[in-house]
Structure 1
Amino acid sequence: MEQMSHAVRTVLSKYATFQGRASRSEFWWWVLAIFLVLVVTQLIDGAVVAPLLGFDAFASEAGQPLSWLVSLGVILPNIAVGVRRLHDTGRSGWWILIGLIPLIGTLILLYFYIQPSEQAENAYGAAPA
């Protein structure tokens, strides 16, 4: 849990920083933390917010306003940490746009994200600790 909290603090402190590098562990701990936060917000949306809005609990027509707000709030750090992760593997951050290609782009990005970090300093800075 300490690694996850450190990764979350690091990513949030670099909220919209697209320069530098993000280690593989920082990136994947961030992904796990955001996944867990979104699961919790969806549960709260279904169990609490939907009935407050006059819908049945977990009704799909109630929407998920809390989850949408959280997703909107973390979209910039998600993109930034993705770009920094690409930098860590020696690739340009512009490769993140390949994710716009359905399925194939996502699979290519996943492949890039799971690659090991470049050990030495690269064009994007020193290797993260």
Structure 2
Amino acid sequence: MEWYKKCFTQYADFSGRARRKEYWMFTLFNLLAIIVLAIVGSILDSVFGSNGAVTGILLIVYSLAIIIPSLSVTVRRLHDTDKTGWWYLLVFIPFGSLVLLVFTILEGTAGPNTYGPSPK
């Protein structure tokens, strides 16, 4: 939970580096939050009989709230592997997301790099 809150305190901070642990814990808590919102939304949908409208609204609002912190932690993770944040644009081409996934799995550069000191 500490890593999740850290990404919100660095809401739009695209400078520096993010460890693998920071990135993946943020991703895990994001997934858990989406699951909880989907469950709560489906319960409210069944109570109000709204055919998924409440679930949709909850997930859209959460997605809009999380887009900037998610982007910033991904860019900082790319910085840890000594790559520029512009590599994030790979998500817009076929199979680019797989390349980005590999970059986020790779171990960061040992010691300081172009983007700052090692976060470890």
| TM bucket, shorter chain | over 0.9
Quote the Cα distance in structure 2 between the aligned partners of 1:49 and 1:74.
23
- Normalised by the length of structure 2, the TM-score is 0.93
After TM superposition, give the deviation of residue 119 of structure 1 in Å: 1.1
**Equivalent residue, structure 2, for 1:48:** 44
SS of 1:64's partner is helix
Q: 1:15 pairs with 11, 25, 49, which one?
A: 11
What is the root-mean-square deviation in Å for CA atoms of aligned residues?
1.5
Quote the Cα distance in structure 2 between the aligned partners of 1:26 and 1:62.
31
Stretches of 4+ aligned residues off by more than 4 angstroms: 60-63
**Does residue 27 of the first structure (1) align with residue 23 of the second (2)?**
yes
The number of aligned residues is 120
CA contact (8 A) 2:41 2:58 kept: yes
Quote the Cα distance in structure 2 between the aligned partners of 1:10 and 1:120.
22
Quote the Cα distance in structure 2 between the aligned partners of 1:17 and 1:50.
40
Runs of 5+ unmatched residues, structure 2: none
Q: 1:79 pairs with 62, 67, 71, which one?
A: 71
CA contact (8 A) 1:87 1:93 kept: yes
Quote the Cα distance in structure 2 between the aligned partners of 1:50 and 1:78.
31
Quick one: percent identity of the two aligned structures? Answer: 35
